[in-house]
Amino acid sequence: MDQANDAPPPLRSTAALYLDFDGTLADIALHPDEVLVSEPLPQLLLALRERLAGAVAVVTGRRLAAVDAMIAPARLAGSGLHGAEIRASGDAAAQLHADPAGAGPLAQALRQRFAGDPRIYVEDKGAAVALHYRQAPECERQCRAAMHELAPAGRFDVTEGSRVIEARPRGADKGAALAALARLPPFAGRNPVFVGDDATDEDGFRAAAGMGGFGVKVGPGPTAARYRIAEVGAVHEWLHDSLAALGREGAR
């Protein structure tokens, strides 16, 4: 992986924008339910969607419904659960492309394993399970071992993020999510731009590059992305700058 350092250029009217949520549009919190969204963000996303002819999507490890609740009244096309959930437009219903049967038992087993430590949070997402240890970083090795032990290998892939270990549906990833959305209108035929902060976003960066677009890494660390933005506030600034540039492009 390269160490991208350059800031991305403003979006062009030919772009399709794919956005991670946690760590990209909103700062990561100690607990996933405590994430705060800046007040101007929903209207900014709606304005960008209008300028890009609808081609703005959220691609997240959360359920899309959870993101909808935080960015209302914006409701975007996108993918949830790392690609297992796809929604072609904000008006459409999300389609789940995974068997959720194993997530409940896995979540219960993990809760039993860590019942004595309230700092460790088990998040049952319906078809995926996340084990959060942000409040107990010294438990990383223990959490990793438990997830690999308890997640059925034939049903889940185990991935790691920012102080979280996650079992996601087998074969689901954000690169596949981008590819699925890129086949649909209004994303088809546009240059994909994928913005994310975590290891799970690297698949999206590679997919965007393979389709003639690029990735934008938020924060430090080696990455396959071409460009880098320092933190969430700077992502919002770049989105505002892109909206202004799109307005000038449309006025010409």
Residues annotated as catalytic (active site), given as ranges: 20
Query: Which residue, chain included where needed, has tokens 């990455």?
Result: 223
Query: Which residue, chain included where needed, has tokens 């994310």?
Result: 196
- Cα–Cα distance, 146 to 144 (Å, whole number): 6
- String of b and e for 237-247 (b: at least 16 CB within 10 Å)? ebbeebbebbe
Structure-token pair, residue 129: 């399970």
Q: Which residue in 161, 167, 163, 166 sits closest to 199, CA to CA? A: 161
Structure-token pair, residue 80: 């949830």
Alpha-carbon torsion (134, 137, 143, 145), positive or negative: positive
Chain length of the chain = 252
The single-letter DSSP state of residue 110 is H
82 in Cβ contact with 156 (< 8 Å): no
Give DSSP secondary structure letters for 176-207: HHHHHHHTSTTTTTSEEEEEE-SGGGHHHHHH
Structure-token pair, residue 134: 């942000």
